[in-house]
Amino acid sequence: MIRTRVKICGLTRASDVQAAVAAGADAVGFVLYPPSPRAVTAEQAAALCKLLPPFVTAVGLFVDEDPEVVAAVIEQVPLDLLQFHGDEGPRDCAGFGRRWIKALRMRPEIDLHAERERYADADGLLLDTFQPGRAGGTGASFDWDRVPADLAPKIILAGGLDAGSVARAIEQVRPYGVDVSGGVEAAKGVKDAERIFGFMQGVRDGDKRR
């Protein structure tokens, strides 16, 4: 049976990292974008990374950040993967010698096949909801019918997922992975362990149907 991989994003607390690991998340995301209510500093992210066992991927998330800042964070935080969530071009993303994924916000006019070609060197493409003026973490979903079936194996599906919707999303899209932030929270940046475990159960239910 194919297992959909899971990233829990926007973690700010040690107890939430421990809950995500205990629930079986494959990756945890740290938002290094100060305007976000889920933002952590490099120091905080470094401390949270220390809680991760060897097979859980630490993802650092940036939005149109100054390359010198990204480089400084990489020096301080043992990130396994970089997630670029702004308008970064492929050369901006590849310039750090680390594995990286590109978030694509699902603008009405987006051409996903063209974007796949543009970001051909990405280790994954994360499809997220587009809301004008919002970089991400909207808590809203987009029309999953917009995800071309031939792209799905490289796609991490994000945007408004929660325990009640993730199984249906997996069954419909059959993505490589899913990503969630708001749908497992009690408040912005404060995850709820029960919702995390419920989300992971929803993923397992979806995998039975994909």
Ligand X SMILES: O=C(O)c1ccccc1NCC(=O)[C@H](O)[C@H](O)COP(=O)(O)O
Among residue numbers 22 through 51, which ones bind ligand X (CB under 6 A)? Answer: 29, 31, 33, 36, 38
> Residue 48 or residue 180: which is nearer to ligand X going by CB?
180
- Position 202 contacts ligand X (CB under 6 A): no
Which are the catalytic amino acids? Answer: 9, 128
Q: Which of 159, 175, 177, 198 binds ligand X (CB under 6 A)?
A: 159
DSSP β-ladder status, 190-191 and 185-187: antiparallel
Residue 124 binds ligand X, judged by CB under 6 A? no
* Residues near 100 by beta carbon (within 8 Å), at least 6 away in sequence: 81, 82, 83, 84, 93, 94, 122, 123
**Of 76, 23, 71, nearest in space to 48 by CA:** 76
Find the binder of ligand X among 85, 102, 116, 191 (CB under 6 A).
85
For position 158 contacting ligand X by CB under 6 A, the verdict is yes
181 binds ligand X (CB under 6 A): yes
Q: Which helix (H) or strand (E) holds 191?
A: strand 190-191
Give the integer Cα–Cα distance in Å for 26 and 199: 13
Of 124, 136, 175, 202, the residue at the interface with ligand X (CB under 6 A) is 136
Q: How far is the CB of 35 from ligand X (least distance, A)?
A: 7
Answer left, alpha or beta for residue 189, where phi above 0 means left and psi between -120 and 50 means alpha.
Answer: left
Short-list 60, 63, 61, CA closest to 133? 63
What is the smallest separation between the CB atom of 12 and ligand X, expressed in angstroms?
10
Closest contact distance (angstroms) between CB of 48 and ligand X is 15
Contacts with ligand X: how many residues (CB under 6 A)? 25
Q: Which one of residues 82, 180, 196, 203 is an interface residue with ligand X (CB under 6 A)?
A: 180
User: Quick one: tokens of 75?
Assistant: 């020096």
